[in-house]
């Protein structure tokens, strides 16, 4: 009963997206994708560069710096901003200590309806899409993308990719995947250097009795809502989906926390300050020491010098 209920909720979520399209006056769905106008409407807080389809394009520099951010640091910033439904835990992964970080390209699968599936296939092929539905999201991947799929937690017969598609994904994106579903050919996928997958399980079966109903549209992953262009931060603790317009803030605040922690740990090891002094509001003396430490080590802290300059400036205000 729980699986049926989850499937109904996901289908309802897809219908909401379709209703949004109808409301906005868009009639050409271009297979299962949403329009550029609707993408901008749904992500209007993002004021930066976008892909041709309207998906937010968080800068590469922010993506690279995000790799050093912890799940807890990102979670804290999102909670402060009122985003309480962006984390999902309990994953299996190919490599425990290899993070997956990048921009989300989303797909939503639902239990198969033969009539709708055939119409979707016919229209997709008429528009130039090639092969079965589960290859379509892969064809859309850009460098740095993370393929994120809602496959309603299906394990048996829910394997969205094997090692062939895994190689294609990595060739196009240079990145990994997050699937609320399963995959097959674990040994072959494990051999792809640099590739990682966060999934619900492994299974030898091939994909069946599933169809693609949403492509590059809002989806649900467990307890999280995921929009195209969200920054995916996947580590062994779980996966957090960061709205594009908050990505720079997450990175900046996480780096400041990291720098304060490094300084505090250093001074505690040296015995210069007590735990009580470091764990409470810092005195003017400690803040002055911190500023001097930042200035002296500005180019060797693993944080862009410009970010350290911004931190120093904020401490003077």
What are the CB-based long-range contacts (under 8 Å, 24+) for 296-303? 301/259, 301/262, 302/68, 303/65, 303/255, 303/258, 303/259
Please provide the DSSP assignment of 57-100 as one string.
---HHHHHHHTT--HHHHHHHHHHTT--S-EE---EES-TT--E
Least confident of 13-17, 56-60, 240-244: 13-17
- Banded model confidence at residue 19, pLDDT cuts 50, 70, 90: very low
Give the C-alpha distances (Å, rounded to integers) separating 178 from 80, 121, 153, 175: 25, 24, 12, 10
Whether 271 has a pLDDT exceeding 70, the answer reads: yes
| Nearest by Cα to 86 from 282, 280, 208, 218 | 218
What pTM value is reported for the model? 0.86
Provide the sign of the torsion angle of the four alpha carbons 120, 138, 164, 7, taken in this order. negative
Residues 203 and 174 both lie in one domain = yes
Q: Which band of pLDDT confidence, cut at 50, 70 and 90, is reported for residue 6?
A: low
Residues of the chain above pLDDT 90, percent: 82
Of 210, 242, 274, which one is at a domain's C-terminal end?
242
Both tokens of residue 261?
A: 């922690």
* Pair (279, 173) in one structural domain: no
The whole-angstrom distance between residue 160's C-alpha and the CA centroid of its chain comes to: 18
Taking only the tens place, the pLDDT of each residue in 124-148 is: 999 899 999 999 999 999 999 999 9
3-state secondary structure of 193: coil
Q: Are residues 229 and 147 in the same domain?
A: yes
Residues 67 and 205 in one domain: yes
pLDDT, mean of residues 89-115: 96
Q: Identify whether residues 188 and 312 lie together within a single domain.
A: no
Write down how long the chain is.
317
Instruction: Reply yes or no on whether the pLDDT at 79 is more than 60.
Output: yes
Rg over CA atoms, the chain: 22
Mean pLDDT, the chain, rounded, equals 90
Boundary-marking domain end, from 199, 225, 242? 242
Do 283 and 226 share a structural domain?
no
C-alpha pair distances (Å), 207 with each of 2, 45, 182: 21, 37, 9
Q: How many domains does the chain have?
A: 2
pLDDT beyond 60 at 174: yes
Q: The domain spanning residue 18 has which CATH number?
A: 3.50.30.40
Distance CA(183)–CA(248), nearest Å, equals: 32
pLDDT in tens, 216-234: 999 999 999 999 999 999 9
Q: Is the pLDDT of residue 26 over 80?
A: no
| Domain hosting residue 300, numbered range | 249-316
Provide the pLDDT for residue 22: 38
Assess whether 93 and 182 both reside in one domain: yes
Q: Supply the pLDDT for residue 85.
A: 97
Q: Are residues 306 and 162 in the same domain?
A: no
Q: Do 274 and 303 fall into the same domain?
A: yes
256 and 236, same structural domain?
A: no
Is there a single domain that holds both residue 216 and residue 302?
no
């Amino acid at each position: 009963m729980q699986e049926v209920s989850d499937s109904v909720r996901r289908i309802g979520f897809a219908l909401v997206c379709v209703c949004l399209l109808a409301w906005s006056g868009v009639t050409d769905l271009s297979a299962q994708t949403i329009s550029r106008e609707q993408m901008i409407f749904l992500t209007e807080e993002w004021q930066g560069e976008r892909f041709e389809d309207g998906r937010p394009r968080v800068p590469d520099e922010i993506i690279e710096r995000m790799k050093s951010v912890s799940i807890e640091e990102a979670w804290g910033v999102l909670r402060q901003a009122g985003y309480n439904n962006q984390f999902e835990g309990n994953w299996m992964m190919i490599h425990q200590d290899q993070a997956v970080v990048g921009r989300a390209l989303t797909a939503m699968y639902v239990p198969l309806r033969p009539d709708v599936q055939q119409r979707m296939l016919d229209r997709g092929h008429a528009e130039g899409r090639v092969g079965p539905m589960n290859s379509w999201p892969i064809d859309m991947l850009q460098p740095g993308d993370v393929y994120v799929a809602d496959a309603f937690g299906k394990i048996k017969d829910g394997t969205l990719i094997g090692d062939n598609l895994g190689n294609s994904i990595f060739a196009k994106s240079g990145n990994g995947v997050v699937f609320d579903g399963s995959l097959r050919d674990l040994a072959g996928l494990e051999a792809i250097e640099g590739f990682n997958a966060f999934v619900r399980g492994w299974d030898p079966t091939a994909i069946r009795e599933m169809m693609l109903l949403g492509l590059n549209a809002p989806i649900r992953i467990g307890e999280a809502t995921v929009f195209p262009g969200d920054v995916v931060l996947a580590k062994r603790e779980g996966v957090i989906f960061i709205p594009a317009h908050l990505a720079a803030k997450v990175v900046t605040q996480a780096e400041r926390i990291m720098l304060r922690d490094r300084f505090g740990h250093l001074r505690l090891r040296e015995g210069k300050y007590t735990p009580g002094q470091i764990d409470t509001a810092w005195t003017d003396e400690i803040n002055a020491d911190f500023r001097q430490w930042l200035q002296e080590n500005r180019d060797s802290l693993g944080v862009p010098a410009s970010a350290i300059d911004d931190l120093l400036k904020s401490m003077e205000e």
